[in-house]
Amino acid sequence: MKYFLFIISSCCLLLFSCKKDDKQAYSNDTGVRISSYKAPATEVQIAYTDQNLISSIVAKQYQQNTLPFPSASFSIATTRVEYVNATPVKLATNITMGDINVNTSSTLKWSGKGALQQIVNDNPSYQPVNWTADAQGRPTGYSDVGPGKKWTYDKNGNVVPENIPDGSSGTKTSTITFSNHKNPFNNGRIGLLLYMNASLQEPIDAVRYFSAQLPEKWEIIATRPITNIPGDLFPPATTFTSKTIFSYSYQFDGSGLLKGFTEIILIEDRRDDLLVYQSETTNNYPVSSYRVR
- Residue-wise pLDDT for 229-281, tens only, equals 887 788 889 999 999 999 999 999 999 999 999 999 999 999 999 999 999 99
Helix ranges, 21-178 (H): none
Task: Give me the count of residues in the chain.
Answer: 293
Q: Which pLDDT belongs to residue 2?
A: 36
Find which of 67-71, 272-276, 288-292 is predicted with most confidence, using mean pLDDT.
272-276
Strands 116-121 and 100-110: antiparallel
pLDDT band of 71, cuts 50, 70, 90? low
What's the confidence (pLDDT) of residue 196?
Answer: 67
Phi, psi (rounded to 5 degrees) for 22? -75, 0
Residue 240 CA to residue 137 CA, distance in Å, equals 40
- What is the model's pLDDT at position 248? 95
Report the pLDDT value the prediction gives residue 27, as an integer from 0 to 100.
Answer: 56
Q: How far is CA 193 from CA 12, 39, 271, in A?
A: 10, 14, 40
CA–CA gap between residue 66 and residue 58 (Å, rounded): 27
Alpha-carbon span 103 to 79, nearest angstrom? 10
User: Alpha-carbon distance 94 to 47, whole Å?
Assistant: 16
For residue 68, the model assigns a pLDDT of 61
Give 276's Cβ-side CA count (13 Å radius).
Answer: 16
